[in-house]
Amino acid sequence: WGRGGRRSAELRGRGCFAILIFCWVYVRKYQSRRESEVISTITAIFALAVALISSALLPVDIFLVSYMKNQNGTFKDWADANVSRQIEDTVLYGYYTLYSIILFCVFLWIPFVYFYYEEKAEDDGNTCSQVKTALKYTLGFITICAVEMTSLLYYSAFVPLDIPNKKNSTEWEKVKLLFEEFGSSHGLSALSFSISSLTVIGMLAAITYTAYGMSALPLNLIKGTTSAAYERLENTEDIEEVEQHLLRIKSKCRDGRPLSSRDRRTLQQLEERLRTLRRRERHLESIEKSWWTKFCKAIRPLKIVWGVFFIIVALLFTVSLFLSNLDKALHSAGFDSGFIILGTNLTNPLNMMLPVLQTVFPLDYILITTIVMYFIFTSMAGIRNMGIWFFWIRLYKIRRGKTRPQALLFLCMILLLIVLHTSYMIYSLAPQYVMYGSQKYLVQSNKTIDVQPRNVTFVSKDCDADAPEDQCIVTRTYLFLHKFWFFSAAYYFGNWAFIAVFLVGLIVSCCKGKKSVIEGEVDDDDSDMSDDELSAYYH
């Protein structure tokens, strides 16, 4: 185990380094060259790295509890009670550390950097006053969040939990009892409550962005983009048409007569349209000559293959989620239990594949890791295609080489919240596997009246809720998922909403034509200075 532990630590170090490199490239790819700031760049890279590292906790947790047992249901020689407890505590400390970092980023650091940059953009005063103002707004944000969390905590005191519930208890006694439960579990319940509250927000973000990204990303890869040469030809025709329209309007005032208010508005709109078309012309010309466009044409068949693979994974995920939710609707104890079921009555494709893949190490872990990373990257694609919205108001756009620092901070915060929801999504698909991994335990299969031990035989059985506690080790992930049933009920209804949004997004993506080769790169509110950024990016 010592040699394996050193090898595992070495692999984790390399993995973290690779994640940091990817985060640096991703942030630098999308951030604005004119508005980039060191503090916002470092914050975005760090937050994105924390999100990706946290997403790897679930596969690692499942692997560790499974690695301690043999396929015949017996513990390995080195996996005694002390070693098992040490591994469980190590994983739990990993959750404590990463989840605490997520709470720190979401509630303190990212809001502070956001308010600091907003203040810096509006006021060119000294740094000290900007920091003070940012701290003031950050404290206000924390206060609002604390009030909301306290209100939710107060109301949750009157919801039945897994603690004694006295009918004649006063309201204060119920609140006191809940806090005693938080303290008696060494902070696990308190952290679980905080994380679950954020996970509900992450669920809403997943419904909005991930469900759409799961349909848009594969179909965009399959359909591809329009030809830059064809778009340039269309754009040139549009420029000629707008110029002719401008000449007709200007000809009305050649004899000295003033233009009407309607003609002046039309003239202003046409001039803005002409500036946008000329920017498009410069962008299309840059892209048409770039080496990146030629490289994308060369790997076009590979993109189609990846698109087909991604849509298969998306359909597998959605069908499995539908059957899992249907199983809960038909066989769970209902709303008051959070729609929790310990067994599986309606099997789903993913739940069928995992036991089969368990027989060939490490195919099951590869599948879980693939689904988790697919969930993350489709979330990125959804945010990139839709932008940052607050209800019906679009706040920021995510565009290559022109994304504002505030938008990158929002993107990373949304990804942090979505990562928290990822574990529950995987649990919804394969609850028994997430709880116990590939563990088995021994059960007596033949009982006789003979007292000779040789006449008693044992067979291995997959760990489930009926297994003895000392024979099957529950993953630490599960401990964070079901401390409070009312959060589980919210996740259940969120899964139905996720399926609905995915189907709507799939229909919309199928009906839409090919994307422009400069989709989102040129807008009416862009300045001409942004052309230099695009030229520098492609060359």
How large is the average pLDDT for residues 97-126?
81
In this predicted structure, what is the pLDDT of residue 141?
85
d(CA 340, CA 242): 62
pLDDT of residue 62 exceeding 60, the answer is: yes
pLDDT of residue 501: 92
| Contact predicate 515/458, CB 8 Å | no
Which pLDDT score, from 0 to 100, does residue 154 have?
Answer: 54
What tens digit of pLDDT does each residue of 9-45 get?
A: 565 566 677 888 888 888 888 777 777 778 888 888 8
Q: Per-residue pLDDT averaged across 331-347, rounded?
A: 71
Residue 516 lies in a domain: no
Higher pLDDT, 377 or 175: 377
Its domain, for residue 304, covers 31-511
Residue 194 domain-assigned (yes or no): yes
Does residue 525 carry a pLDDT above 60? no
Inform me whether the pLDDT recorded for 108 exceeds 80. Answer: yes
**Can you tell me the mean pLDDT for 475-495?**
78
Q: Which residues contact 254 (CB under 8 A, 6 or more apart)?
A: none
127 found inside a domain:
yes
pLDDT at site 412: 84
Using one digit for the tens of pLDDT, what is the confidence trace for 228-270? Answer: 788 888 888 888 888 888 888 877 777 667 777 887 888 888 8
Residue whose structure tokens are 């830059």: 228
Query: Residue 75: what are its φ and ψ, rounded to 5°?
Result: -75, 150
Task: Tell me how far CA of residue 116 lies from CA of 113, 126, 159, 271, 405, in angstroms.
Answer: 5, 12, 40, 37, 11
Asked if residue 3 has pLDDT above 60, the reply is no
Confidence class for position 200, pLDDT limits 50, 70, 90: confident
Is pLDDT of 125 > 80?
no
Residue 311 phi, psi (nearest 5):
-70, -30
- The string of pLDDT tens digits covering residues 146-189 is 777 666 655 544 444 444 444 444 544 444 444 444 444 545 66
The CA-CA-CA angle for residues 46, 110, 156, to 5°, reads 110
**Would you state the pLDDT for residue 497?**
93
Buried b (16+ CB within 10 A) or exposed e, 246-267: beeeeeeeeeeeeeeeeeeeeb
pLDDT per residue over 428-446, tens digit each?
Answer: 887 778 888 778 887 776 5
| Mean pLDDT rounded to a whole number for the chain | 76
Residue 18 lies in a domain: no
Residue 7 half-sphere exposure, CB side, CA atoms within 13 Å? 4
Number of structural domains (the chain) is 1
12 in any annotated domain: no
Q: Quote the CA–CA distance of 463 and 73 in Å, as a whole number.
A: 9
The length of the chain, given as a count of residues: 539
Across 124-152, average pLDDT: 79
Instruction: Pull the structure tokens for residue 466.
Output: 């009926």
pTM: predicted TM-score of the whole model, two decimal places: 0.76
Q: Report yes or no on 222 lying in a domain.
A: yes
Percent of the chain with pLDDT over 70: 77
DSSP string, 341-408: -SS-SS--HHHHHHHHHTTSTTHHHHHHHHHHHHHHHHHHHHHHHH-EEETTEEEE---TTTB-HHHH
433, 435, 440, 446 alpha-carbon torsion, rounded to 10°: -110
Name the band, by pLDDT with cuts 50, 70 and 90, for residue 295.
confident
| 364 inside domain | yes
Identify which of 457, 234, 428 has the alpha carbon closest to the alpha carbon of residue 339.
428
Q: Is the pLDDT of residue 297 over 50?
A: yes
279, pLDDT greater than 50: yes
Task: Look at 82-86, 138-142, 269-273 and tell me which has the smallest mean pLDDT.
Answer: 82-86
Give the Å distances, CA to CA, from 238 to 233, 251, 512, 527. Answer: 9, 20, 22, 20
Q: Residue 526: what pLDDT?
A: 53
Q: Give tens-digit pLDDT for 201-213.
A: 889 999 989 998 8
Q: What pLDDT does 164 receive? A: 43
pLDDT at 530 over 60: no
**pLDDT, tens digit, for every residue of 498-524?**
999 999 989 988 888 777 777 766 665
Pick the more confident residue, 115 or 258. 115
Q: Which residue has the tokens 């309607």?
A: 262
Query: At 81, is the pLDDT very low, low, confident or very high (cuts 50, 70, 90)?
Result: low
Confidence of residue 191 (pLDDT cuts 50, 70, 90): low
Query: Is it the case that residue 533 has pLDDT exceeding 50?
Result: no
Q: Which helix (H) or strand (E) holds 149?
A: helix 127-156
pLDDT at 294 over 90: no
Q: 121 with 113: CB under 8 angstroms?
A: no
pLDDT band, residue 85 (cuts 50/70/90): low
Q: Is the predicted pLDDT of residue 471 greater than 70, yes or no?
A: yes
Ranking 151-165, 395-409, 480-494 by mean pLDDT, the lowest is 151-165
The answer as to whether 4 is a domain residue is: no
What's phi and psi for 70, nearest 5 deg? -85, 170
